[in-house]
Every structure is written in C-alpha cells, then in structure tokens.
Amino acid sequence: MKIDKRHLLNYSILIPYLILSVLGLIVVYSTTSATLVQIGASSFGSVLNQGIFWLISLIAISFIYKIKLNFLKKRQFIFFVIAIEVVLLLLSRFVGARVNGAHGWLRLGPISIQPAEYLKIILVWFLAYTFSRRQEEIEVYDYQSLTKNQLIPRALNDWRWISLILIGLVAILPDLGNATILILTALIMVSVSGIAYRWFSTILMTIVAFASVILGSIWVMGVDRVAKIPVFGYVAKRFSAFFNPFEDLSGAGHQLANSYYAMSNGGWFGLGLGNSIEKRGYLPEAQTDFVFSIVIEEFGFVGASLILALLFFLILRIILVGIRAKNPFNSMMALGVGGMMLMQTFINIGGISGLIPSTGVTFPFLSQGGNSLLVLSVAIAFVLNIDANEKRDSLYRELEDTYHG
C-alpha cells in the first residue's frame, strides 16, 4: 500500500506561512510605496520584486516537498554546497557591493544575492548531518564524542573548524547580525544533538560572559576608539546608539530613537495601514531592519502582538515536528530550522527595542528582502517534507503491526 504525501501535508505550518508571506507583501508595499513615489518610481516596484521571490519560493516548496530527502545525507553533496557558499562569501566580501558599511551582496543584473542568508539553512543542514551520524557515540561518550577530547580540533574537516570558518567569513563582511544568528543556531544544534544538558548550560554561560565582556570593553574604551578598528568601525555606531540613542539624534542614534517614536505613535490599535509617520523619511531602513516598528505604528500593539503570536505559533509547530521525529537527522533539521527562525525574531525585536545593539537583521517574512524570504521558504519546505515522511513511516509501522498482530 502506497501512501500519497499530498494527504500528509501539515497545514498548521503551511497556512501560517502563507498568511505571514501575504502580510509581508502588504507591509513591504506600505513601507516602500511613499518613498518610491517621491523619487519618481512606481509605488509597486519593491512589492513586485518581493512578489517574484515569493512565487519562486512557492515553486521551491512544491518541488522540495515532493522529492526524497536522501540526497541531504550525502557527504559529497554537502561539502560541494559548502564549497560554493565559501566562494560566494569571498566574492561578496571582495567583489560585492557595499551597502550600509558592509559587503554582503552580489549583483547579477537586476538580481542581488546575499550569501550570508543561505548559510543559515546550510549550517543547520551540515550540523544535522554531522551529529545524526554520531548518535551511538553520543549515547556512550556524551559531548566528548563531538570533540574527540580535543579542545582545539586537529583536522580542518572537523565540524568546529568548518562552522568557525563559515561564521568567520560572514563576520568579516562585516555582518555581525547574521553571524550572531549563526552562532546561536550552532549552539542550538549542539544542544539538540543528544548531549547532556549541563554542556548546553556551560556553552550558553560562556557565550553570555563573552558578550558581556565585549560590551563592557566597548563601554570602557569608548565608542570613538572602537570606531578606529579596521573592518568593524561602522559597527561602533550601532553600539553608540545602544548605549544612548538620544545623545546623537542626527547621527548614530537616529534610527533607534525614531523606532521608539514609531512604537509610541502606534498606541494600542495603531494609526491604520499606510498611515505611518516615521516611514516617510524619518526612520531609515523602515522596510528592512526596523519594519516591525512600522508594523506597531500602523497596526498598534494589539495588531503587532497578533502577528508575533502567529509567527511564534509557526515556529512552535516546526519545533514540534522535530520533537516528534524518530529519525535523528529529521529531528535535528526541524529543530535547527525552528531555532534559527526564533533567534532571528528575537535579535530583530531586541534591536528595534534597544534591548541589544542593532544588528541589521531582518524580521522573518515581513521585511523587504527576497533572499531572506526564499531561505525561510526553503527551510519551511524541508520541514514539511520531513513531517510528511515521519507521518508516512509511522503509518507504515502501524499497518505492519496490525498485519502481524
């Protein structure tokens, strides 16, 4: 008996994804149309570009859902994709366009590729493959099976070296926002690999302590001195705004201060769709990094909370797929995707609210950015496929037990 995967589609993931994607198109139009009209361009320019990426995403979801995922477990294919990603990251650093102080984009005619975005799903895939192959060792030797009792890995093909090199290439763009997401995603992947909880706690406390030392050092040294450090000079402005955004309203603190104004303007129920004041030239990057500030201004605290609740529901359903999965690779892949989306959401919200320094990270689905939407869609497609395969295998086991019983 053959079970068709079409009947196993997880609508509790697909429907929230579709709603958030459509909301994203509406928000992109709302945040970009006025600015485009001011420069004499079509008010639909940005939303049409986003719409094209969404159509490509839907085609990708349809294709990925139907295929067998065994190719994801082939070592040669994984390292081939990683090699291409390394080349793209190097090209974006030394050849790519410079935007807001960072090299992160490769322009191919009208299309811009952001390799750092694609690295998110590649890192989850690579670590899920690596850790799933060591489950028997992890059960016996715990965390030591991942490190071979080596504080510093001796071989360049060690997962720690590969992860460090990939994240380092993103950091030197410099794209510290995506680098932070990658670090936290890697931490999540290590924690769900089967190791004891105490190791996760130790790693997390180490990262918190390291981040505290960095922030404290910048505060003691002063932002002006940090700004003189090669490569990371522009990042110092973000830290300056984090410490006191109202000290330099015309400079470093301009974005964060206007983000506060936007959220204050929104109140409980918002000014109404399209009626934002801050998006009309007051809040730079209103369609990308600070899009949720505009969402709060137009939809209010109540509307923005409902959108955030829908996103968290989607993430929790993805995590639930990982928890229920019997196959270690499938489980870690789904948990990694859910963790990656959760980290991106928290970092964006933290940045626009001043809880952490602004990192330039986009808000999932709502921010303008075709590459981000495509990566999130591909990640959703993998989770849908994994969930369908797990359900089908479970049904086959039940049928077999019934037959033999």
Out of 162, 196, 230, a domain closes at: 196
Predicted confidence band of residue 237 (pLDDT cuts 50, 70, 90)? low
Instruction: Examine the pLDDT at 341 and tell me if it is beyond 80.
Output: yes
Instruction: Examine the pLDDT at 128 and tell me if it is beyond 90.
Output: yes
Out of 164, 196, 228, a domain closes at: 196
- The pLDDT assigned to 241 comes to 58
Predicted confidence band of residue 1 (pLDDT cuts 50, 70, 90)? low
Which position has the higher pLDDT, 235 or 120? Answer: 120
Q: What residue numbers bound the domain in which 56 lies?
A: 1-67+313-405
Q: Is there a domain that residue 11 lies in? A: yes
pLDDT tens column, 348-367? 998 888 777 777 788 999 99
- The pLDDT assigned to 243 comes to 58
Q: Which residue has the tokens 């040294």?
A: 221
- The pLDDT assigned to 176 comes to 82
DSSP structure class, residue 326 = S
Residues 178 and 78 in one domain: yes
| C-alpha angle 305-53-348 in degrees, rounded to nearest 5 | 35
Q: Which two tokens stand for residue 27?
A: 């928000």
Q: Is there a domain that residue 123 lies in? A: yes
Predicted confidence band of residue 96 (pLDDT cuts 50, 70, 90)? confident
Three-state DSSP state, 355 = coil
Which position has the higher pLDDT, 6 or 161? Answer: 161
Q: Is there a domain that residue 223 lies in? A: no
Out of 196, 224, 245, a domain closes at: 196
Residues 83 and 158 in one domain: yes
What are the start-end ranges of the E strands in 100-152? 102-108, 111-113
Q: Residue 65 burial (CB < 10 Å; 0-12/13-18/19+)?
A: buried
Instruction: Examine the pLDDT at 138 and tell me if it is beyond 80.
Output: no
Predicted confidence band of residue 225 (pLDDT cuts 50, 70, 90)? low
Which position has the higher pLDDT, 280 or 226? Answer: 280
- The pLDDT assigned to 104 comes to 77
Residues 57 and 95 in one domain: no
Please state whether beta strands 111-113 and 97-99 pair in parallel, antiparallel, or not at all (unpaired): unpaired
Q: How far apart are the first and last CA of the chain?
A: 17
Can you tell me the mean pLDDT for 181-207?
82
The tally of domains found in the chain comes to 2
| Residue among 23, 70, 177, 161 nearest 114 (CA) | 177
Provide, rounded to the nearest whole percent, the portion of the chain with pLDDT above 70: 82
Can you tell me the mean pLDDT for 156-169?
87
pTM: 0.88
Residue 16 CA to residue 216 CA, distance in Å, equals 40
Residue 144 CA to residue 139 CA, distance in Å, equals 10
Q: Is there a domain that residue 291 lies in? A: no
Can you tell me the mean pLDDT for 213-220?
68
CB atoms within 10 A of CB 87: 11
